[in-house]
Structures are given as C-alpha cells and as structure tokens.
Amino acid sequence: MEEIMNAVYLHVKTCRGITVLETMVSLLIFMIIAGMVPAAYGLWISPSISQFSYEERVIFTTQLQLDFRPSTAYWTNASETILYFRRAPDNATVQYELYQDKVRRRVNGTGHEVFLQNVKKLHVVKKEYGIELSVTTDNGREFSHTIAHPIEILSGASYGD
C-alpha cells in the first residue's frame, strides 16, 4: 500500500496539468481586465469641451424662448448685439449678451448665467413679429434662430421700446 501511495504522490508531483482552481483564477483576472477596457476607451475618446454641440444650441434656444415669450416688451442695443426684454411677473429687465466667448444672461444688470460657450459673435435683430438670432462659433460655424413673440403676432402692432 505504501508503494502505491508513493507512486501516486510521484505522479501528482511530476504532472504539470492545470487544475480547475487555476483556470478559474486566470479567467477572473481576464474578466477584470476586459471590464476595464470600455472605461479606459471612454477616457481616450472623450469629446472636446471646446466644441460647440448641437445639444447646447437646442438648450440655449429653448431656454431663450421660455424666457422671451412671456415678456411684456423687448428691444436691442444700437449695434444689435444685446437682447433686452422686460419680464412680466416682476418687471425686471433681462438681457442676453456676448461676454468674452460666452453668451450670458443677466437680470437688472447683475448676475452671470452662462448659456453658450465658444461663441465669437452674437447678433440679434428685432423684427415686427419677434427676433432673429444669429450666433457664430469660435470655429466659424453659424446658426440662426427665429423666435416669435405671441403679443406681436396676436396684435399685429409693433411692440417694445
């Protein structure tokens, strides 16, 4: 019996096979590494913050519409670079203007709410039905948006200062 035990011991000792435990450990290590690849890929391929995105444009125009439409009066400065309007509930003057490379919103000449970034030029034209807004980005792309004012459409009269 002792000879059989020694033979089994020598056979197990000299065998270079892979056990199930070793296979599971190596599979676990592989899965951990494979799980990190998508996270690392997202860091390498992240979009540039300095680019002007479509989503930013949509959010800006939507917020401007929500702010502008209930106003009681609206006007621009002489060079048509600043949009002013009077907010209905508290009669505050809201202005959208270009500040450095950003379009910001101010209320009664105070505050600094950034609505767009990487902007080179902002041009606002007061029309009889509302405003036409034109924005040129740092990389030269331009977009325009028209916002109708409900009071102008319903009354047909020129409204504002």
Task: Calculate mean pLDDT across residues 12-22.
Answer: 70
Residue of higher predicted confidence among 39 and 75: 75
Domain extent, residue 15, equals: 2-44
Total domain count for the chain?
2
Q: Give me the DSSP letters along 48-115.
A: PTTSPPHHHHHHHHHHHHHHHTT-SEEEE-TTS-EEEEE-TTT--EEEEEEETTEEEEEETTEEEEEE
Task: Calculate mean pLDDT across residues 6-29.
Answer: 75
Rounded mean pLDDT of the chain? 83
Q: Which among 83, 94, 91 has a CA at the least distance from the CA of 134?
A: 83
37/106 same-domain check = no
Task: Calculate mean pLDDT across residues 63-90.
Answer: 90
63/119 same-domain check = yes
96/40 same-domain check = no
Is the residue at 161 inside a domain?
A: no
71/96 same-domain check = yes
137/74 same-domain check = yes
34/78 same-domain check = no
101/22 same-domain check = no
| 26 in Cβ contact with 34 (< 8 Å) | no
pLDDT at 159 over 50: no
Is the residue at 29 inside a domain?
A: yes
Q: What is the pLDDT of residue 55?
A: 85
CA pair distance 46, 102, nearest whole angstrom: 22
